[in-house]
Homo-oligomer: A and B are copies of this chain.
Amino acid sequence: MEKETENKNNITALSANVERVFSEAYYIGRASTAKGVVASYIPELAKADPTAFGLFMLDNNGNSLCFGDFETRFSIQSICKVVILAAALKYRGFRGTFDHVMMEPSGDAFNSILKLDMRSNLPFNPMINAGAIQTVSLLADLLSFDELVSFARELCHDEGIVLDEAVYKSEFDSGDRNRAIVYLLKSKGVLMADPDKTVDLYFKMCSLSVTARSLASLGLVISNGGIDPVSGMRLIEAEHVRTVKSLMFTCGMYDFSGEFGVRVGVPAKSGVGGGLVCAAPGMGIGLYGPALDPFGNSIAAVKSMEHISEKLGLHVFDY
């Protein structure tokens, strides 16, 4: 395990307590990896090291903490839904987005097609596959993949984000359920771009390579109301950030979203690649642990966050 404390601008140093809590959380997380299972639905994901675990914290005073495999690159997977939603809000606006996708938690597994077919013509929210694909269709004729990558790099403060070609190929080859979803959306008359182009762009977005560090930066921008604390630049409009945070809170953790909201209580989004981004008060936290729990969330990341939130009082509804 490597550990490192950077304090770039020395405005407010991290307390010893914060350091200890993160250190404990790292050990708790790593110890739990053995109970999880690496995702296998896409062959490329199955290659990940199940014992890997990385943790990166960045606060808005410029302090950071990092542990373990915090620089390992992995595919962003469902966490790209946060980037997609932020882009849709930026380029299409609130109405231009939510005229095409709802905001309701669905309480369903990440790949459910059932809800889409049952009640409404619009997908439940942008944090499930159907909703993210629908949201991508709002962007497919407006932005190139390269432009979306640039936006992701900006949000994550990470120029190293590129398309992981092997993951993309794996997504493309195994993406039939997402193809079923895009054609179902098309058949309902709600999809806003060509189905092949849409689902291909979605596969590419899922295949972006990130690190725990990049996710911490993303979390901090969101936590910080959309402003990059390093440059001071606004990357997401204030009114859009609260939308993103609300939907991460209610829908970001698959079928565990409600319980994560109760136990951890911070806006978060996980991906089956093992990543987790958290936008905690005053800090962004990025985690990487490819061993997943039955809900599809990184088991180490969830265990770590439970400890961190409890010990540091990060729950949004803590008094």
Copies per complex of this chain:
4
Task: Determine whether A90 belongs to the interface, using a CB cutoff of 8 Å to chain B.
Answer: no
Complex contact B104–A258 (CB within 8 A):
yes
Nearest neighbor of A181 in chain B, beta-carbon distance: B180
Complex contact A262–B238 (CB within 8 A):
no
Segment touching B, from A18-26, A44-52, A245-253, A268-276 = A245-253
Residues of A54-110 whose CB lies within 8 A of B = 102-107
Residues of A163-181 whose CB lies within 8 A of B = 176-177, 179-181
Task: Determine whether A30 belongs to the interface, using a CB cutoff of 8 Å to chain B.
Answer: no
Task: Determine whether A257 belongs to the interface, using a CB cutoff of 8 Å to chain B.
Answer: yes
Contacts of A265 in B (CB 8 A): 242, 246
Taking the closest CB of chain B, its distance from the CB of A101, in whole angstroms, is: 11
Complex contact B114–A257 (CB within 8 A):
no
Contacts of A1 in B (CB 8 A): none
Complex contact A241–B186 (CB within 8 A):
no
Say which residue of B106, B225, B246, B251 sits within 8 Å of A319 (CB atoms). Answer: B225
Docked CA distance A225–B238 (Å)? 27
Docked CA distance A258–B181 (Å)? 22
Complex contact A238–B319 (CB within 8 A):
yes
Residues of A within 8 A of B (CB): 102-107, 112-115, 117-118, 124-125, 176-177, 179-181, 183-184, 186-187, 195, 224-226, 238, 241-243, 245-247, 249-251, 255-259, 261-262, 265, 267, 315-319
A-B contacts, 11 listed (Cβ < 8 Å) = A104-B255, A104-B257, A104-B258, A104-B259, A105-B105, A176-B186, A176-B187, A180-B180, A242-B318, A247-B258, A251-B258
What are the 9 A-B residue pairs with the smallest beta carbon separation, nearest first?
A: A225-B319, A105-B105, A176-B187, A177-B187, A180-B183, A245-B317, A104-B258, A180-B184, A179-B183
